Amino acid sequence: MATFTSTSRQPFNAEHVRKDFPFFETGVAYLDSANTSQRPRHVLYAMDEYFEQFNSNVHRAAYHVSEVATERYEGTREAVRRFINAHSAKEVINTRGTTEGINLVAYSWGQKNIKAGDLIVLTILEHHSNIVPWQILAAKTGARLEWVDVDEQGELRLEQYHALLEQKPKLVTLSQISNAIGTINPAKQMVHDAKRAGATVLVDGAQGAPHQGVDVRDLGCDFYAFSGHKMLGPTGAGILWGRRELLEAMDPFMAGGDMIKAVRQEGTTYADLPLKFEAGTQAVAEVIGLGAAIEYLEGLGMENITRHEREITEYAMEALSELPGLRIFGPPVERRAGVVSFEVEGIHPHDLSTIVDRHGVALRAGHHCAMPLMIRLDVPATSRASFYVYTIKDDVDRLVEAVADAQRIFA
């Protein structure tokens, strides 16, 4: 794997970090990292090295290049274990992303444990990936869903949450951070309270893992899912972490090669964790790329990343607030991740995105896979600027200038 020198003990310099990312040679001000992040050369090199030097399947051959591929593939599992502070690498399941991880839990744990009349609690802030699987499960089992609402600042109504916990839910599922408006939820306290009420708890860490990091033992949840492509890694690689005793008791999500110990005509014996949940040929290069992304993030230091994002977010909120007719959704900066979701009076978000694109600014427009939240906010869509390790103030300045130009066009 390509070498990488840690900079976590050096002052964080986004201009310097940005040079590690070939994408920015295009000149685009990229403000859609909550959707998917850019990738540093360290990640690209690691994947290229696999394709060029040891392209082969894993776990299935005794020749040298396959052994190297397997070593690198399993090396990512150990890197993830370290990054999230799991007890064991056997608790780390490779998936295609957060969506697959949540569906795995809904299918393999949910269909065995959720019964008619059971209560599933979720929040109005959730991404569709943490809504639709539970709606399907509830329809199949006769369980019921209850939602935790938000206040006018886009923060969860915890008094409502605690009232629902008094009904002894079977499952509580929540996002660590809202992808749509950036709200940082009090996940640790919410998990603690849910566990005291006897619930199993899944946390959607798609935005949390890249921007805050996570210690799953300290967080106290039962399942935690996240995606590689939102944390400087490739698409097609993600992680589901689960408590070992729960994973052991769950049936496989998919069946096929590599998830078996023995297959006979009369039946099959499944492989031990974690392979029981990794059927078929895996995305080997992408998993290796995820491991390289984690190495890169650890080199930068998660505290440095969080601090930088807060500075950029505060700068963006102040700059955008100076524009007339612009409304920002969500909480104050101290309880917000690197996301600024807003609307501009008289301009549909899709039109705004088209105009700012002419200025070389990549801005997300839409419901952000959070339609229930958009309905709650009484808007069809929002414009969303989202930031990461490589975002600089000039990106924000270009956005503000582009929005002002759009206002002149629509005046």
Q: Please identify every residue annotated as catalytic.
A: 369
How far apart CA 388 and CA 195 sit, in angstroms, is 32
For residue 225, what is the enclosing H or E element?
Answer: strand 223-227
The rounded Cα 136 to chain-centroid distance in angstroms is 22
- Cβ-in-10-Å burial (0-12, 13-18, 19+) of 152 comes to exposed
> Strand 92-95 to strand 238-242: parallel, antiparallel, or no bridges (unpaired)?
antiparallel
Count CA atoms closer than 13 A to 165's CA, side-chain side. Answer: 22
Asked whether the beta carbons of 337 and 317 are under 8 A apart, the reply is no
Q: Name the token pair of 238.
A: 């993600």
How far apart CA 205 and CA 220 sit, in angstroms, is 13
Asked whether the beta carbons of 292 and 42 are under 8 A apart, the reply is yes
